[in-house]
Structure 1
């Protein structure tokens, strides 16, 4: 709505500029065409032309001949803008009047093939979690609502170690390199309940599960190495490996596990060093690995000499008896990664890994080079929570609450005409919308909702009509009716 201080053009430009600076529109993302934007925002094409012109002037977007407007990978200098301005003004006017004409992916303004862009920008979704899109529950969030996680035992656990004597004992010197001994003993017992046999000496604590994955990559891989990942899979892992210079080999994830034929072809052709897997409650599909698939994966790992890192981030939402590669392998070629951010305290950043004995010292060296040690206060408090059974009882309450939320969310989705591409289990649902969810996500931002479009979960950001939802944050009919309305437009 027009304000006294700003014109409609200025308001529209400011809205896009803020999203770009907040990384809610990632580098390489395509803006709506002039005509589409005018229809969506209820303004004239000339208003959109003016807004896009302002974004060009600020160096936030670029125009590509016959393709549209894209968020720039870097901030544009005034000199670059002056050169581009004379070349692109006609394109702006032309886009307002004529239909879009594509020259195919990767084509530049001159028709040549442009350098490949980063496959995706996972931080766009993560930044959206921190920026507070609106006061509405956010379906794209990867964590439980704060009210679900509130406990009394966390504060009690921290107070136990906050006396002056206790704090001086472990705060005035570096902690144990591998992590608090008490926590590692507690984690060893926790892993036994999952049939993963790992002594405390095989466990290293980290600053969250993502840090553990990063330590494994930096220890076992070098730039240019091939790494197999599941697809769809988690965008952060794709982006992290890409930033390290790894060559990503996407393996289709099926209901029983990864496509084993594709894995073997990759192993024969590229000699990958690592396979990254979420065996239990896979993100985003919720699939769980079957024993037969797990057995074959381990056979391939031994035959073709690669390691498997098993990310069990969602273990607290799953049965202890679910099939885990590390349990079958006995931590020979497998490395187990876990954490507590999803179930307990996202900001505590306490994760861990359990590794084969011959890799422990190498992994520990990498940890020391990156963080020296990890915060002893939180590790000691967490050890107490584990030992007292507080986390186990808390997880049981969360699972019961999540089961109810999932049932309500599925019923709402189906009542509004949506289906699921995978059986709804765990924290996330894999929803079929019937439209391009990249474009849909931008429309939903205008309505105050942050989505996780399906393209994010592909290593090369393949357009998708699927999206991932969080069952805990999709309880309101308003979200589903809004989604239904925009999909139908």
Structure 2
């Protein structure tokens, strides 16, 4: 909170607080600052202090004053004349423009934590959950003097370490995804794999169907490449097939070229695809000639028998993507894609153009972790721990007056707070907590009362007490 004992004035403290949030995209372009009276009440200062702080933000070019409406975060791109133009689409629902900066809120939060408190808005496991003895052992095995020189002084295999690709092929066979080592390309994390697929299969202006709510970064990434975002509502059993059919039946040049889907333990709802829905999605893809990229980032938390499009399709129209940052080592940045033999060569070309190759040291260490069963046992321990955390978090959320918008599953919960979560986010930041408002998971950030909760970091009773107090004030 603001303090009168600080060497900095209350006005300066308040201005710096808002400036930091604006620069870190915790306040998105176009967001309205609290009214002078409301901000004064929230911060326990005089209206004069708030006016002076807002004046400082105006002078820095971070906000703009709108007559009789208040103060709004300034869109730097629009000021410079480089704002993205609105995109049109001939049939309804319309393609939606996306503000890329909005998606960086949670990403930046990973690097600019508001406090040392547990952060229920984060998208990762706490570091202590991922600690192990086998990872250092794996690195020691591959960093002997001879190996270290071999791996460090020359580029690795373009498609990725051969040993890792063989291990991944065996691992995919257990979930019935048929991919030989030569059908796999390693990447710098799963996000890099998604980017390779997009850059290979799409051209600027191409329509792309993306599940909504969905991963904020995926909306922004595709928009940055110049694609038309076609939101597809995600239901409990899968995507809304009627909406997909309407997109597919649009006129020539407006039909989707790609569908991006999280079949298992969908982010943020936790939904998993049903077999019936999966078959109908694949029928649409074959009938209307579009590809599907299946993001299976949370595969380590799901049962092997869960329905996956890539398993049913045999990698004919599907491209399978996954990674190990969530479950094992975020900084190793190892992901991969698996595709049909006639497609994998194109993806490899894109990888060569964008990154040349990927680090063999970490890939060889990961292969050892997989082959020795260490990764499997580690994932089992994480799943058991997460089951307990999920139960405690759900109990705390219900006790704080929330309701569940989706059946709890996986790492994330989709929770209805009963208040506007964009406003709630700013008030919780004042208390040192970063939450994930539901608007971040939609292409056009509509006001919503929903938020995403990380079950692993959401089991802190102190958070829910603060949450209930702030929510009641709103």
Over residues 244-297 of structure 1, what are the superposed CA-to-partner deviations in whole Å (9 max), with x where a residue is unaligned? 110000000000000000000011113100000000000000000000000000
In the TM superposition, what are the counterparts of 1:280-319 in structure 2 within 5 Å? 280-319=264-303
Aligned to 2:208: 227
Q: Match of 1:473, SS?
A: coil
Q: Report the equivalent of 2:353.
A: 369
Confirm whether residue 155 of structure 1 aligns to residue 136 of structure 2: yes
What is the number of residues matched between the two proteins? Answer: 454
Alpha-carbon distance in structure 2 between the residues aligned to 1:4 and 1:158: 47
Q: 1:214 aligns with which of 195, 210, 213?
A: 195
Deviation at residue 426 of structure 1 after TM alignment: 0.5
Give the one of 179, 187, 196 matched to 2:160. Answer: 179
Decide whether the 8 Å contact of 1:60 with 1:75 is kept in 2: no
Offset of 1:129 from its aligned partner? 1.2
Displacement after TM superposition at 1:304 (Å): 0.4
Q: Shift of the alpha carbon at 1:159?
A: 0.6
Contact kept? 1:209, 1:339, Cα under 8 Å: yes
In 1, distance between residues paired with 2:174 and 2:151? Answer: 30
Counterpart CA distance in 1 for 2:268 and 2:78 is: 35
Kindly indicate whether the alpha-carbon contact (under 8 Å) linking 2:321 and 2:338 is maintained by their aligned counterparts in 1: yes
Cα deviation for residue 4 of structure 1 reads 5.0
CA contact (8 A) 2:97 2:443 kept: no
- Contact persistence 1:59–1:76 (CA under 8 A): no
Give the equivalent residue in structure 1 for 2:73.
71
Kindly report the root-mean-square deviation, in angstroms, between the aligned alpha carbons of the 2 structures: 1.7
Unaligned runs of 5+ in 2: 82-95
**Which of 436, 444, 448 is the aligned partner of 1:460?**
444
Deviation at 1:481, TM superposition (A): 1.2
CA contact (8 A) 2:98 2:444 kept: no
Q: Is 1:139 the counterpart of 2:120 in the alignment?
A: yes
2:382 paired residue number: 398
TM-score normalised to structure 1 length: 0.90
Residue 117 of structure 1, CA deviation: 6.9
Aligned residue in 1 for 2:339: 355
1:339 to partner: Cα distance: 0.2
Structure 1, unaligned stretches of length 5 or more? 81-114
SS at match of 2:32: coil
Corresponding residue for residue 105 of structure 1: none
Q: Give me the whole-angstrom Cα distance separating, in 1, the residues matched to 2:314 and 2:68.
A: 56
Distance across 2 between alignment mates of 1:188 and 1:418:
43
C-alpha distance in 1 between matches for 2:316 and 2:48: 64
Indicate the SS of the match to 2:260: strand
**Cross-structure match for 1:85:** none
Deviation at 1:25, TM superposition (A): 2.0
Q: 1:242 aligns with which of 214, 223, 237?
A: 223
Secondary structure in structure 2 of the residue aligned to 1:160: helix
Q: Residues of 2 paired with 1:117 and 1:374: CA distance?
A: 31
Aligned twin of 2:54: 52
> CA 1:141–1:55 in 2, change beyond 3 Å: closer, same or farther?
same
The corresponding residue for 1:202 is 183
From 249, 253, 262, the equivalent of 1:268 is 249
How far residue 7 of structure 1 moved from its aligned partner, in angstroms, is 2.1
